[in-house]
Each structure stands twice: as structure tokens, then as C-alpha cells.
Amino acid sequence: MADGGLSFPTSIGTSDETHIRLLGQDLAADLMGKVGFGELAYWLVAGRRPTPGETRVFEAVLVALADHGFTPTAIAARLTYLSAPESIQGALAAGLLGGGSRFLGVTEDCGRFLHETLRDAGPDPDYDAVALDAVRRAREGKRFVPGLGHPVHKTGDPRTPVLLRIAEEEGLKGPHLRLFEAIGRVHPQVLNRTLPLNGAGVCGAALADLGLPVDLLRGFALLARAAGLLGHLAEERRKPLGMDIYLTVDRNAVYEED
Amino acid sequence: MADGGLSFPTSIGTSDETHIRLLGQDLAADLMGKVGFGELAYWLVAGRRPTPGETRVFEAVLVALADHGFTPTAIAARLTYLSAPESIQGALAAGLLGGGSRFLGVTEDCGRFLHETLRDAGPDPDYDAVALDAVRRAREGKRFVPGLGHPVHKTGDPRTPVLLRIAEEEGLKGPHLRLFEAIGRVHPQVLNRTLPLNGAGVCGAALADLGLPVDLLRGFALLARAAGLLGHLAEERRKPLGMDIYLTVDRNAVYEED
Amino acid sequence: MADGGLSFPTSIGTSDETHIRLLGQDLAADLMGKVGFGELAYWLVAGRRPTPGETRVFEAVLVALADHGFTPTAIAARLTYLSAPESIQGALAAGLLGGGSRFLGVTEDCGRFLHETLRDAGPDPDYDAVALDAVRRAREGKRFVPGLGHPVHKTGDPRTPVLLRIAEEEGLKGPHLRLFEAIGRVHPQVLNRTLPLNGAGVCGAALADLGLPVDLLRGFALLARAAGLLGHLAEERRKPLGMDIYLTVDRNAVYEED
Amino acid sequence: MADGGLSFPTSIGTSDETHIRLLGQDLAADLMGKVGFGELAYWLVAGRRPTPGETRVFEAVLVALADHGFTPTAIAARLTYLSAPESIQGALAAGLLGGGSRFLGVTEDCGRFLHETLRDAGPDPDYDAVALDAVRRAREGKRFVPGLGHPVHKTGDPRTPVLLRIAEEEGLKGPHLRLFEAIGRVHPQVLNRTLPLNGAGVCGAALADLGLPVDLLRGFALLARAAGLLGHLAEERRKPLGMDIYLTVDRNAVYEED
């Protein structure tokens, strides 16, 4: 605590000449080779080591969110790699910057919606009644219910039942997933049509049931996507598409007066 | 293949109404709950599923590189979160953008150095002789040997022997790690002092032995660091330091003529 | 319009073998050496060429917003340059990513607040009455009035009267600046204390009076800040501070249990 | 200088309760409304106020580099805006991150090439002889001469003669531009074909003649491009293309085995 009393407290990590400590553990002796990477990511954010069941649900979420093909974020990363191949960090960052409200925000939006709905509902709720009320209020406020509907998987997102089953198997199907299932059951009464519970939404519900802070759920979607973007950049390196994508746009540009 | 013959081939993923395919697998049925996140990241970049041993070495590397405390990148991420807390993707991207030549580049530089040295050496090399020659040429060219030396761990980086042991246990100590060890043995003959083999370097050697493309090794350091940065952002949310860091600099600014 | 009818219309620019057209002009013959950079930036966003008076107000705004010393964004840019000096685009991008709601958002927030207040007030308003009502509603809703108050310039931001005078001189003091002035006059009646009209706020009001889209006002703050950040990076190159800033934080890190 | 002797010296800016100083000037009294934005950007980087002639050449460069239509960077910015429309700083940053070696690097590469060639040539050189030697050495080393050739403007880039004329008019055609012209004259002797001197290259030569640091020339290209990217984002807001671009790629994705 030199420098006139300056002090920057942290619970993450420190090191000295012979040891590196991370999360209160000896990095080399206790963590390397003994904890998985997903497990460590959970621990870093939650500040506590997850159980094996929590790790399995968490990694299933990361796997579900890692890639969705040629998303706008994957295309942006490939085009940035085309322009600046010497800076892989720039291409990865450009891809992650699309992780905002529209294409990667559903996970966090859904987790937060469920969290706030449950907070208002009080303990031991009747999930179907709470869900019915929440969907009604969303409709009256002309708001979408996050996690409901999918442009491609119109009759059912294949990730949803699988993640629900995994959470059930691990004894981790908590109030957020239960409320999400209830929304799936009751929304046709209000909306007069049946929409699928989508994969991004069920991931948000599962992360919230793991006790992770709802303000940071988008962060996990970004971590998962970082792996997917690396996959795209590795493929771009082997079989480049960026130039074709760029030329497809540029060759079909048409100037028009504003 | 509509749009006049346009075609963007990819081996990563596709989806239709009922299925999501990733890496040739059914995402929901075959991957979620069955592969770990680190395993999937390896698969995405290498284009092949790693063995359990490869996964263990790979995840040990990611764990080793996830966080190094208050690095410039962690501080940049925290300051960006302070300025724009609504955009966690921006804070994460800002942190990753520091993953360049100086603070996060050693992993890739070391992997590449070993790879090129081995390529020039031909098959079945005498590692000590090759290492001696490589260190001599680096010294003559006034270049550093990547992976040698550490500002804090002057007598030995605790990560290095642990990663070597894990690779040995899994039968994955290949030519890159062997050459790296040889550099550790022979460099005092040339440099007249003994430097430690650092953790970032041994990680680069291990990744290269896993057959991962040396041009993308920095990408794995970035993926690992993404988890560490999320940890810093989660801590910044609970116990903010960004304002203190900013004010420490701003309050001690001194204007001087250029 | 090859590729099966694909067409990407734009009013910005096109080029062929002998000409480059930008905004409907011949770039080389009509723009280079004839329009200033600020003038072009206005034209690009507004889709029309500004008058000399509009350009003067616009450039005064950019000058006012270009730099505020060691802001979190400037520090983040310097730390990123320290880590990845080979990627100046990364350091600049990292700095701009802090241009969010808190430290660079006031310009846009203030422009939008004034815009929406005027829209609700109808034509030919009594500015003091409208301002009084707007401040009252903000207070009742426990919201801040954007553009009011400054942590350092407690008795008056020196930029505010200057920008008001320049706009007046150019005949461009329109309804947004008039309403902003009115807020300055009437807010003490509601808040029981006198706060300064700050520089970021008056810039937002002036940009809105120039007819620029309120959704993009933050974009101009970012453009201005890009110049300031280049100044910091040029200084960092000549007289590096990034390492000192990093070590000041790192040397004063204190590990504590979570 | 509180905090135990900490001191962060800067020549850029400081402020107190009543004044904001920038570059040693009173921002409100001496700069706002009196210096243009381009002029200020030059001053911030060079640390000295440019003359009117220097400002004219400098702004002509920024105007020349501001936009090149649907470049990979413009497309990446539009796709990022599509995904995260709430974070205009993220879309702008994503666009700038493509400002690397390939699509935006020529300006800096050319300035540096000319600078280093002149440094080796000594004072008062015979430009044609120096150029001939430099082109020969580049060819022998199988390196491109930066600034020579253009994929579209095969018979001449329209920006080149205009910028040379403006520099001439302002008495600012110095050694870098003269050497660049000489390269244009002599390269056919070595390469056996005539290539155009491109616009990005002549901009780099002009910036170097203005005495700006060659390590930062890419920074000016980035500043210019920031204005162009804002133009694209403003157009994307009025007439969105991002979704069409994304769907053009995604609908034409073809899965293939690796």
C-alpha cells in the first residue's frame, strides 16, 4: 500500500515471485489440470466454485450459444479479419461488438424478465398464474415476451427441451426455468397463437437458476460466442469468404440520390 | 443457392426448422450436456474433436492464461465499463483489444518461434543442439527468445513445470515442448545467465504440440482472457474500482509545455 | 445488378475506373481542397451540404468535445496502446468504446430531451413555461435533467456562453438552444439551487438546432473524441504514461476474500 | 501532486472550475469558433498549430480518405449496428477495427516507405535515382512498393494529381511527395508496366511532408474513416441494408464437410 495510501482491493488474483493466486487458490498447484475452463469462468463471475451439476448445465448453455452460423457478428468478424489479418484481437472484438440488444441480447433480457417477474410474485408462486399475468401485462404494454418465438424454429427450438432435461437431471430446474415453461404453456391463451420457447431464452432462464447475476448474463453469451467466432476466423484462414462477401455487396451497390 | 449462384460454403454450422447442426453434429442431441465448453472451442478451431487428454492439456492452458490480475487489459475493460455500463460487449471488447504483441502475444510468438525452428531443423532433431543454435541466432540478431524470462517470477514460473507434467501424463509432450525445455537447459551457455521459462511461453508450446495452427494461438489466449475479463467486470459491478483508478490519474495530472 | 437481382442502394459513394463520386460530387474535382473535414462530416450524416454558418457552429461543437484530459476513455486508449502498440486502430477503438451513457452520453441525452420536450410543446412555445414544466416532470420522475450540472465547473461551464454566442452570431440559435437557456433560467425555482448548463449539453442543443438526427448525436461526440484520442496516443508515443498508470494500479492491488 | 508523489504529465489539456485549457490555449476563448476541427486534430497530434496552407493540405487528405463506398469496414459497421443499434460506439469501433494492414494501411505504409528511403538517401537527393534504386530493391526483395497500383483506377487514381496540385499551391510539396512522383516516373523501367500512383499512397506522402509522425499516419486514415462510417451509420438508420446483407450471406450458406 505504497503511493500515499492508494489501495485497489480485488478478490480475483495476485502473484509474487513464486506463486500465482487466483480466486484464493494456487493457480499452478490447485487449478491447472484440475478445473475445466467453463468451471473456471463460472467461478470467476460468481465468486464461488460451481458443483459438477452446475458446471454441466453451465457448459451446456455455453455450447448452445457458441455459434449460430453466418450471423451478422460472424460476418463482421470475417470482414474485419480480411481487412486487418495481423490483428486477430480486432476481428474477435468486432464480432463481439454485435453482441447487443438484438442478436445476442435475448439471453439476458429473458433472464431479467423472469427474475423481475419472480421478484414481484413473492415466494412459492403458482407459476401458471404468474406467467399468465406477465404475458398479459407484456401484451398490454405492447412489449414482446423475451424468449418467445423464433424466425426459423417456428414449431420448436431443439435446444429448449434438451436444456430443460439437463437441468432436471442435475436437480437445477429452479424457479426461472419453471416460470419459463409456464409461459410456454399459457401464452396461447393471451396471444391466440403458439410460439416456441427459444434457445437463447431457455439459456437465460438456466443461467438465472444457477444464481448468476442477471446483469451479466449477456457476458456469458459473449464468452460462448468468442469460441464460435474463433471457429469462424480459423475457417476464414483456411477457406476465405470475406472477400466474396465484400465483393457481393460492393459489386451490387447502386448509387441513388438521397 | 439462390441469388445468381452465390454460395458461401462453411463447415461450422447450419440450421433448419427442426435441427441445428454444428461441426457436423446435432447440437441439441449430440453436443449439449455431452461436450465441455473447452472441448468445443478446440473442435471449432481445429476442425476435429479432441481426445480427453488433448482436452485436459488445452483446458489447463486456458486456465493458466485466464487472468493475471490488474493487467492493462483488465484496467481498460473496467474503465470502459465505468464509462458505458450499458454495453458489456464494449467493455469486454476494449479489454481484448489489448491482446496484442506485448502483453498477450508471448503465447503465439513462442509457439511460432518453436514451430519455425523445428521446421528448419528437420525430422528427429537433437533438441539441445537445435535449441543452442536457435538461442545463438536470436542473440546475434539481437532478438529476444520468446517465452524466456519473467518480470516477477525471476527464479521460475510456477505454471511451467505443472503444464509440462500434465502434457507428459497425457502423452502429449511433443517436439515443441521438448524444444522449449531444451531452451531452458542450454540458454545460460549463450546468455550467461539463467532465465525462467515463462507460463505464456509454455502455453504456446503446448498448444503447438496439440496441432493447433500457430497463426491462431493468440486467439486461445484471447478466449481464456475473455473469461478473466468477465471476472473483472463482475467484480467491478459488485465493488467498483474504475472511478478510483480514473481519479488517481486525473487528480495527479500535471500540465507541462510540450 | 448481377447476382440474381441483388441491389444495395446507397447515396454515399461509388467509383469507377476514372472517377470517385461522394455524396453526388466528384471527390477529386469538387471536394478535395474545397470542403473542410468538419463540413464533409456534417454532409455525410445530414445528407446535405451545410452553410458556412452551420459549419462554424458544428466545428465549434467538435472542438469543444475533442478532449477532456485524462478521461476513462483516454486512459483506456493509452493502456491498450501499451499492450498492443502495433494496432493503433485497436487503441482508438478501445477509447471510443467508453463513449457510452455515462461519460460521453450527455450530448445525445440532452439533444433528445430537448427534442422530445419541444415536440410535445407544439409550435411557438413559451420557452420558460415549457422549461419549467419539463424540469418539474423530471424532478417528479426522479430523473436528472440532461445538461444541467458539472462536477468541476460548478459555477459555470466556460463553453456554454461561447457556443450560445457563436450560434447567435450565425443566426442558428434555434428552439433547442432557446429551451436549454430557459432551463438555465428557471430550474432554480424547482430544484432550489442553481446549476450550470454544461458544455456537453449545450453541444447537444446546438447539434439538434442544426437539424442533425438526435439518435446520432453521440456519433459526433465520438468523432470529436477520435481526434482527442489520437492526441493522447501521439503523446503516449512521445512520452509514455501507460506503464506508470498500470503499475500504479498493480502495485497497489490488495487481495481480499470476497 | 498528491498520492505519494504520483505525477502524470501531459501537454494536452487540463481544467479547473472556471477554465478549460487545451494545448496551452483557453478552449472557450481561443479555440471554439476560431479553429476548425481538422486544424485542431493536426495540432493535437503534431503538438503545434498548423499554418492555413498545412490545414488545407491536411483536410484535403482527410476528405480523400473519408469514404470508399461499401468497404469491408463499412459493411462490418452496418452489421454491428444491425445487431446492437443501441451502441453506436460499438458499430463505429467495429468499423475502425478493419483499419489495419490491408484496406487502410497503405497510407501509413507508403509514408513510412518514403520516409525510410529518404533517410537512407541523405540530403539533397536525386529523386529519380533514389526512386529507381528503391523500386529495384523492393522488386529484388519481392516486396510491393506501397502506393503503387489500384484494383479499380488502373489508368490513374483521380485523387493523386489533385493532391499534388494542392500541395504545390500551398508550397508544401516536399521530399516525400517528390520521391513519390519520381516512383511514378521510373517504376516502369523496373516493373515493365505502368501502374498508377494511388490515392492512399499520395495521402501518406502528403502527411509525411507535413511533418506528421509516420508511425501515426494510420491514425489520420482512421479519423477520416470515422466520418465516413458515421455517414454509413446515418444511412443505415434511414435506409437499412444490414439485414439484406446478412440474409444474402446466410441464405446462401452451404454446409460442407471440412
What residues of D are in the A interface, CB distance below 8 Å?
2-6, 69-73, 75-76, 79-80, 82-87, 90-91, 93-94, 97-105, 242, 245-246, 248-250, 253
> What does the pLDDT look like over C174-221, one tens digit per residue?
999 999 999 999 999 999 999 999 999 999 999 999 999 999 999 999
pLDDT of res. B126: 97
**Residue of D87, D241, D249 to mutate for A, most A C-beta atoms under 10 A:** D249
D78 contacts in chain C (CB < 8 Å):
none
Q: What is the pLDDT of residue A59?
A: 98
Report the residue of A12, A61, A71 to disrupt the B interface, i.e. the one with the largest count of B CBs within 10 Å.
A12
pLDDT of residue A257: 78
| Nearest of C200, C182, C181, C246 to residue C99 by alpha carbon | C200
State which residue of chain A sits closest to C7, comparing Cα positions. Answer: A252
Listed in sequence order, the residues at least 6 apart from B52 whose beta carbon sits closer than 8 Å to its beta carbon are none
Domain A52-246: which CATH number of 3.50.50.60, 3.90.420.10, 3.30.160.100, 1.10.230.10: 1.10.230.10
For the segment D183-221, what is each residue's pLDDT rounded down to a tens digit? 999 999 999 999 999 999 999 999 999 999 999 999 999
Nearest-10 crossing angle of helices B37-46, A52-65:
30
pLDDT confidence of residue B44? 97
> At residue B83, does pLDDT exceed 70?
yes
Let me know: does C140 contact D9? Beta carbons within 8 Å.
no
Is the pLDDT assigned to residue D258 strictly greater than 90?
A: no
Q: Which CATH code is given to the segment(s) B51-242? A: 1.10.230.10
How many Cβ atoms sit within 10 Å of the Cβ of residue C120? 12
Q: How far apart are CA C44 and CA C24, in angstroms?
A: 11
Q: Do D222 and C88 touch (CB under 8 A)?
A: yes
Chain C residue whose CA is closest to B101: C84
Judging contacts by C-beta atoms under 8 Å, the chain B residues touching residue A234 are 44-47, 213, 216, 219
Cβ-count burial of B192 within 10 angstroms (0-12 exposed, 13-18 middle, 19+ buried)?
A: exposed
Contact D107, C50 (CB under 8 A): no
CB contact under 8 A, B3 and C4: yes
Check if the beta carbon of residue D96 is closer than 8 Å to that of residue D73.
yes
pLDDT at B43 over 60: yes
The CATH number of the structural domain formed by C50-243 is 1.10.230.10
Confidence band for C4, pLDDT divided at 50, 70 and 90: low
Please list every residue in chain D whose beta carbon sits closer than 8 Å to the beta carbon of residue C88: 216, 218-219, 222
pLDDT of residue C1: 40
Instruction: Give the start-to-end residue ranges of the domains of chain B.
Output: 51-242
Write out pLDDT tens, residues C108-120.
999 999 999 999 9
Share of chain C above pLDDT 70, in %: 98
C102 pLDDT more than 80: yes
Q: Verify whether the Cβ–Cβ distance D10 to B256 is below 8 Å.
A: yes
CB within 8 Å: D1 and B257: no
Q: Is the pLDDT of residue A24 over 60?
A: yes
- Average pLDDT estimate for C137-145: 95
Contact between chains at A252 and C90 (C-beta distance less than 8 A) = no
pLDDT attached to residue B255? 87
d(CA B68, CA B159): 12
Q: Of D69, D82, D246, which is closest to A253 when you measure between CB atoms? A: D69
**Mean pLDDT value of segment B21-43:** 97
DSSP H or E segment with residue A89 = helix A88-96
Q: How confident is the model at residue C101 (pLDDT cuts 50, 70, 90)?
A: confident
Rounded average pLDDT over A129-141: 97
Band (pLDDT 50/70/90 cuts) for residue D4 is low
**Residue B2 has what pLDDT?**
44
The pLDDT of residue A249 is 95
CATH topology of domain D50-244: Cytochrome p450-Terp; domain 2 (1.10.230)
Whether B50 has a pLDDT exceeding 50, the answer reads: yes
CA nearest neighbour of A160 among A106, A225, A105? A106
pLDDT of residue B4: 60
- Let me know the angle formed at the C-alpha of A152 by A150 and A156, rounded to the nearest 5 degrees: 65
Angle, helices C106-121/C175-191, rounded to nearest 10 degrees: 90
- How much is the mean pLDDT over chain A? 94
Q: What is the pLDDT of residue D2?
A: 44
Residue D92 contacts by C-beta under 8 Å, 6 or more apart in sequence? C96, C219, C222, D77, D226, D229, D230, D233
Query: How do residues C19-63 score in pLDDT, each as one tens digit?
Result: 999 999 999 999 999 999 999 999 999 999 999 999 999 999 999
What is the residue type of A120?
Answer: D
As a whole number, the mean pLDDT across chain B is 94
**What is chain D's mean pLDDT, rounded?**
94
Say how far apart CA A184 and CA A158 lie, in whole Å.
14
- Where residue A5 falls among pLDDT bands split at 50, 70, 90? confident
Interface partners of chain D (CB pairs < 8 Å, 3 or more) are A, B, C
Rounded Cα distance, B250 and B254, in Å:
9
Q: C256 CA to chain B: closest CA distance, Å?
A: 12
Q: What residues of chain B lie within 8 A of the CB of A59, using their CB?
A: 35-37
- Full-model pTM: 0.96
What are the φ/ψ torsions at residue D192 (nearest 5 degrees)?
60, 20
- Helix ranges, C98-216 (H): 106-121, 127-140, 159-169, 175-191, 199-209
Of B7, B89, B252, the CB nearest to D3: B252
